[in-house]
Amino acid sequence: MRADLIIVGAGMVGSALALALQHSGLQILLLDGGPLSVKPFDQSAAFEPRVSALSAASQRILERLGAWDGIAARRTSPYGEMQVWDGSGTGQVHFSAASVHAEVLGHIVENRVVQDGLLDALYEADLGLLPGARLEQLRRSGDDWLLTLTDGRELRAPLVIAADGANSAVRRLAGCATREWDYLHHAIVTSVRCSKPHQQTAWQRFTDDGPLAFLPLAKADDAEHWCSIVWSTTPAEAERLMALDDAAFCHELGKAFEWRLGEVLESDPRHCIPLRQRHAKRYVEPGLALIGDAAHTIHPLAGQGVNLGFLDAAVLAEVLLHALERGENLADIKVLGRFERRRMPHNLAMMAAMEGFERLFQADPLPLRWLRNSGLNLVDGANEAKALFVRQALGLSGDLPELARL
């Protein structure tokens, strides 16, 4: 089978790209190793362990791709405030949507819900979806790439987009180099019920071992008591916490969170994810582009991973659509390079900022502790600087693709 463009990976980012190109007239194949089936949604069901804090820019992209209504009809949790504080000092910062006259800072949404909203839109758009199609081999064949699937099927196209996640097979098979390093951190993720309501606030405490986030969740039969937690800590501590029974885990979690939301009353099953930062040295080569986690994975402390991925997808679609209008060859490195030039500096800046934060909060020497505490308090008192930060986080400023603009 031959197509103009093959997107490998129909996760959140690959699906968004396919939708953004649906009216391009290109023959597109979107393949994924998974079943790509949409499950009926039950509002009172337990939460999926993986959630994302979607920015306003991501929401706008999803609205324009026709996926947001399906997401909102399932389950989303808006938050208007963010509280960040240093567990071993006195520093704290409070961000609010009201400070920039916005209604919300973002929405916490289960990844499954985002994915299903996108799949609804994809099935409606009747794009070339190939479920159960796992890529095994990739090689050049004339001007095309030849893709071989695990079941032996062969596909070809002059342009391949890698949207196949952090362990991208495309990136590996095409020999794209990456810079990567271990954070020496594991993240424990689960959903918990607290005795106090979360007040539609995203909470983050920096502990000596790493950041601990409580993100507000909304459930039909509950008054703001469920939160998704991301607890980043050393591998040894993560192993100890994973081995605890539920009651002991809930107690340790409440204590680590300084009981800000009261007792932790119950916890869903826990998952432990090793954290690794990875960044492809190049996002493009002739006939190939990397987007989303295939291009970069970032510490979840800022909840930015998929937001960066949606911006990658929107910018790449914009670049390809403009090139089509001008009759250019989409596989040309000159065309694809425009995407890399717009996205790489932004992604690198975000990754560097997270890396800096991460190191600052891990630092033990007293001057650094003092610096971060007074720094946090300084930021908290600087309303203009805070508003700037909130605007950036909301996707209200910066080099935004058309799909993400107000």
Write out the residues near ligand FAD by the rule CB under 6 A.
8-14, 31-34, 52-53, 111, 134-135, 163-165, 169, 187, 189, 230, 273, 292-293, 300, 303-307, 309
Beta strand 51-54 pairing with 106-110: antiparallel
Task: Output the smallest distance, CB 56 to ligand FAD, in A.
Answer: 13
Task: Output the smallest distance, CB 111 to ligand FAD, in A.
Answer: 6
Task: Output the smallest distance, CB 90 to ligand FAD, in A.
Answer: 27
Beta bridge partners of 181: 277
> Nearest residue by C-beta to ligand FAD?
11
Task: Output the smallest distance, CB 138 to ligand FAD, in A.
Answer: 10
Q: Of 149 and 360, which has the nearer Cβ to ligand FAD?
A: 149
Task: Supply the DSSP string of 267-308, one letter for each residue.
Answer: EPPPEEEEEEEEEES-SEETTEEE-GGGTEE--GGG--HHHH
Q: Of 130 and 261, which has the nearer Cβ to ligand FAD?
A: 130
Beta bridge partners of 276: 182
- Separation CA 159–CA 145 (nearest Å): 7
Q: Of 13 and 261, which has the nearer Cβ to ligand FAD?
A: 13
Task: Output the smallest distance, CB 378 to ligand FAD, in A.
Answer: 26
Secondary structure E strands in 174-268: 178-194, 201-207, 210-216, 226-233, 264-267
Q: Which two tokens stand for residue 296?
A: 């970069």
Distances (CA, A) of 345 to 47, 197, 254, 312, 368: 35, 39, 38, 12, 28
Q: Of 3 and 13, which has the nearer Cβ to ligand FAD?
A: 13
Q: Of 63 and 332, which has the nearer Cβ to ligand FAD?
A: 63
Q: Of 35 and 367, which has the nearer Cβ to ligand FAD?
A: 35
Orientation angle between helical segments 12-20 and 305-325, nearest 10 degrees? 20
> Within its chain, how far is the Cα of 102 from the centroid?
22
Task: Output the smallest distance, CB 169 to ligand FAD, in A.
Answer: 4
